[in-house]
Structure 1
Amino acid sequence: MSAFINEPPKTEEDYWVAKALLQSFGQTDADPRNGTHIKPTRPDHYVFETKGPRIIAGLAACICIMIAVTGLRLFLRAHVRRLEWGMDDTLMVPGLIMAVAYPALQIAMVQYGGAGKHMFDVTYIEYYYYHWLALVAQVDFFCCIGVIKMSIVVFNMRLTKFSSRAWTFGNWAFFAIVCCYVINAFFLNIFQCTPPHANFDYIAAGKLSYAPKCIGVAKMGTILRAINITLDYMLLAVPIIVLWKIKMSARQKLRLFALFSVGALACIGSAMTLVAKSRLKSDALWNYTDLLAWSLVELVCSVLAASLPTLGSLFSRGARETQASGSYESHLTFASSDYRSSEFRSAGKSRHDTHHSHHSDVESDTLGIMRRDEIELTSEIDPNERNPSFRFSDSRTWNPNNSKSRLNETPET
């Protein structure tokens, strides 16, 4: 049976883990056979306590929320005709897998690594599992957050596609920056020590005849999270700027800003992780729960921010059908930036030189944004003419017998 931290090792594995721990604290001359000396020490009249059950319950809830929200988003994209599947949806598939893997690894850390306990209640073997599971979870976290950011960037491309070339260039540049961030975060976490496996495997590190050389883990994590915070706020600014320019009612804007405010919570969670990291200097396995909580806030809110705009279309009203002598309805799609018009419906009465003022609701498949366009339609119908023509005020001709015709009109943003 493995010994507790700060006690003399009982097994060979205990010895190597104790040696690696002493090396990580810079105590290369200390004898591992005497055990480690990590604060805090066990107090007198101590009663065992653990945060494990509460941690597992919270992690399970996060897994259910992320699967439910993203699963519903992908279901809608695949089965609702007016919602077009895009690359942002494809990116959310690996994003969801990695997002679920992060709390799953945290559950394993509680079960096998002693997470949620005080250091003096953890054995050397438990700390061995905790250490390498924590590093794998950290790699997964940065990659997952990066992939979700890429999905949101692609969504922003769909949102701003018809605005200007500057938006297109800016979004692609931001996408490249996020890709570089993910690649650098992956390799920095994997190869932060020489040899690389010594960073993950404390038993292998203890067997080395020399102390592994590693990049400052705390400094590296702080830099990566600082970059992550900056990217979060830049990413959040794009839809806010676009929606601010769209002409819609204050109620509609408030509803959409409420959706995107979830992204602001992710930004707050990302910033608070830097504060929580400072508490890991002592009793790390007990105090790490603050860092875990804020990391989960960032992760879950990022998943929600990526999916809620699509789910918002469930609550948006469909385009209204207006019936008159000649009427039409059209749908605006951000993804393709075109109008899909339905057939004209005739009431069975002919009028000569009649003017109709028509209101049509234009709905975005991306955000569920409802927009009202007022278009004046003039019909000049000759009773002897088989194929009557309808003429718009800007002199464009619409053929009612061709239901696949499109209006080459660029919407305003």
Structure 2
Amino acid sequence: MAVDLVILSVVFVSITVVSIAIRLFTRTVILKNIGVDDYLICVGAVFAIVCSVTPIAALQYGLGRPTADQKPEQVAPYQKLLLTSSVTYSVSATFIKLSLLSFYLRLSNGPAFSALVYCVIFAVIGFGIGSITAVLLQCLPLSSLWDEDAAVGAKCIKLVDFYYANAAINLTADVVILFLPIKILWGLHMPLRQRIGLCGLFGLGGLATVAGIIRLSSLKSLLASSNPTINIVTPLNWSFIELNTAIFIAGAPALKAFLRQYMPALLGSSYSPTGITKYGSSNKTGTKSRPTKHNSIPLGSVSDKNGSKWVKNTAVVSSGPGHENGNGERDSDNDSQENILQNYHGILQEVTVSVKSERKSEEGRSMSSGKADY
């Protein structure tokens, strides 16, 4: 059990460090667009790392071994380390949620959604402060956790009941945050495949929610336990699994941009310096493309300065993502998702307008009516 805790802690901390490094590099170097959500997730990552490594330090003070084998001098450092892990868990979870909600504000497409996000932000902050306060005031005086003299006459809450309530509320907040942007994302004017992919990317947060559910169920082992030093290991494991998984998933958009820039083959696409990524079926030239629908709108004809030539203009309006290839077609890929997940300036429907000009000589146009063709 102790070995499993060490392995899980090292693996997930390593994933978090790499994830944060890639996220910061992508935001500052590739996208040059770092925001408040990036700073908040960094704070959450620092506390998640502390939450993950403190149980390793507690192993030498009796964690993972029978409570009867714990020596009196080990009780104080053991309790202080578990207290640190509990506090840092609440702090990290709060900052991770605030980072996601800050990211949602960048996606906001109206005052109603922004107001809803701000309400959730205030609730998350209040719950975070309440959780930290409850941990620090679980016993009065707090030193009664490790000092037998202070324990005489001390008043303590039932810690397991607190864990249950905290985990349940935390899980509810995770579900709310998970589904908060789905309605907006699903209502975007883009192909069904892209909407499903975009909602799926946001839905990856459900993995962290699943970890939270397992953590909640693992607390049963602490009820009336005669060996809390052993039974608390599993909830501790799921605590830092939940935090580090959430941090990794929150960095998925930045990771996708990083891979698209340096390892596009992993995404099943080709990358060019212009940022064009090809998908779909192959055309005659071997370039993969998928044309989008064009709507031609005649703008009329105007004469040149000397009145000898006429220019007939037609605007071709293409709604939807993609770039033009060498054949005049557009490549329909996930660029609209990239704009949403990377630019963070709101959800925009990109419209590309190209103007075709057809010049007619004065001799070529009809002179029968004596009127210009407008």
Q: Same fold (TM over 0.5)?
A: yes
- Match status 1:150 vs 2:98: yes
Runs (5+) with no aligned partner, structure 2: 261-270, 278-308, 323-334, 361-374
Distance 1:303 1:209 in 2: 38
Distance 1:374 1:66 in 2: 38
Larger deviation, residues 358-367 vs 190-199: 358-367
Closer, same or farther: CA 264–79 of 1 in aligned 2, 3 Å: same
Query: C-alpha distance in 2, partners of 1:231/1:93?
Result: 20
State which of 13, 25, 28 in structure 2 corresponds to 1:75: 25
Q: How does 1:120-131 map to 2 (within 5 A)?
A: 120-131=68-79
Deviation sequence 1:270-306 (CA, Å, 0-9, x none): 1222211110223222222321232123112211232
Could you tell me which runs of 5 or more consecutive residues in structure 1 were left unpaired when the two chains were aligned: 1-50, 322-349, 384-413
Give 2:23's aligned amino acid: R
Q: What is the aligned partner in structure 2 of residue 286 from structure 1?
A: 230
Instruction: Answer yes or no: is 1:306 the counterpart of 2:250.
Output: yes
Given the alignment of the two structures, is residue 208 of structure 1 paired with residue 150 of structure 2, yes or no?
yes
**Structure 1 residue 97, shift from structure 2 partner:** 0.7
Q: Distance in 2 between matches of 1:282 and 1:355?
A: 81
Q: Does the aligned pair in 2 maintain the 1:269–1:297 contact within 8 Å?
A: yes
Q: Output aligned runs, 1:93-112, within 5 Å.
A: 93-110=42-59, 112=60
Per the TM alignment, residue 113 of structure 1 is displaced from its structure 2 partner at its CA by 1.9
Deviations 1:86-114 (A, max 9, x none): 1101112211110111111111112x222
Give the CA RMSD over aligned residues.
Answer: 2.9
Counterpart CA distance in 1 for 2:151 and 2:54 is 31
- Higher relative contact order (CA closer than 8 Å, sequence separation 6+): 2
Superposed CA deviations along residues 211-265 of structure 1, whole A, max 9, x for unmatched, are 3111221222222211101100000002322221123334333433443333111
Contact 1:88 1:155 (8 Å CA) reproduced? yes
Relative to the length of structure 2, the TM-score reads: 0.71
Query: Does the CA-based 8 Å contact 2:66-2:227 persist in structure 1?
Result: yes
Residues 373 and 319 from structure 1, CA distance in 2 versus in 1: closer, same or farther, beyond 3 angstroms? farther
CA distance in 1, matches of 2:354, 2:152: 84
Are 1:356 and 1:378, in contact at CA under 8 Å, matched by a contact in 2? yes
Say which of 41, 45, 54 aligns to 1:92. Answer: 41
1:78–1:57 distance in 2 versus 1, CA, 3 Å: same
Deviations 1:348-402 (A, max 9, x none): xx9922325254636444515998845444467999xxxxxxxxxxxxxxxxxxx
Q: Answer yes or no: is 1:253 the counterpart of 2:195.
A: yes
| Alignment CA distance shift 1:98-1:122 (3 Å) | same
8 A contact 2:141–2:150 mirrored in 1: no
Q: Which residue is equivalent to 2:311?
A: 352
Q: Distance in 2 between matches of 1:250 and 1:289?
A: 44
For 1:171 and 1:313, the matched residues in 2 are separated by 26
Alignment equivalent of 2:87, drawn from 117, 139, 152: 139
- The range that moved more, 356-365 or 292-301, is 356-365
Cα 1:118–1:228 shift into 2, 3 Å: same
8 A contact 1:310–1:366 mirrored in 2: no
Alpha-carbon distance in structure 2 between the residues aligned to 1:144 and 1:268: 18
TM-score, L = length of structure 1: 0.65
In structure 1, what is the equivalent of residue 168 of structure 2?
226
CA distance 1:373–1:92, shift in 2 (3 Å):
closer
Q: Percent identity?
A: 23
